[in-house]
Amino acid sequence: AQRVTQPEKLLSVFKGAPVELKCNYSYSGSPELFWYVQYSRQRLQLLLRHISRESIKGFTADLNKGETSFHLKKPFAQEEDSAMYYCALSQHNAGNMLTFGGGTRLMVKP
């Protein structure tokens, strides 16, 4: 069975510091990985998907199949990055259903 692990429930950094939110997965097939973000009082929204290989709001994430990881990184955190971040895995052969990690709350202090 597939599983997504986000080892940190809370990550607190100062503005301008680098950020790395960790995500590890276990899945026997070929997964698609996503990062979703939920800002305060807003709906859950897609931040990144690994196949897009793009940078959104300065965030990047690289799929490392050897380490089964999909860590989210940003070189310089901003206060507006404070939010809840969820890593999720999709199985193409199961109708794109998502398995979510436990989430990491990022707090960026001024």
Partner 1 sequence: SAVISQKPSRDICQRGTSLTIQCQVDSQVTMMFWYRQQPGQSLTLIATANQGSEATYESGFVIDKFPISRPNLTFSTLTVSNMSPEDSSIYLCSVGGQDQPQHFGDGTRLSIL
- Sequence-distant (≥ 6) Cβ neighbours of residue 45 within 8 angstroms: 36, 37, 38
Q: Does 10 bind partner 1 (CB under 8 A)?
A: no
Conformation bin of residue 58: beta by default, left when phi > 0, alpha when psi is -120 to 50: left
In 3D, which of 14, 25, 18 has the Cα closest to residue 101? 25
Segment near partner 1 (CB under 8 A), from 22-30, 54-62, 74-82, 92-100? 92-100
Tell me the C-alpha distance between 38 and 16, whole Å: 21
Member of 63, 71, 86, 108 binding partner 1 (CB under 8 A):
86
| 95 counts as binding partner 1 under rule CB under 8 A | yes
By CB under 8 A, tell whether 57 contacts partner 1.
Answer: no
Strand partners, 100: 88
By CB under 8 A, name the one of 25, 34, 70, 85 that touches partner 1. Answer: 34
Q: Given the rule CB under 8 A, which of 13-21, 40-48, 55-63, 74-82 is the region that contacts partner 1?
A: 40-48
Closest-CA residue to 8 (of 67, 87, 62, 79): 87
Would you say 17 or 46 has its CB closer to partner 1?
A: 46
Please report, as ranges, the residues that interact with partner 1 according to CB under 8 A: 34, 36, 43-46, 49, 86, 90, 92, 95-103
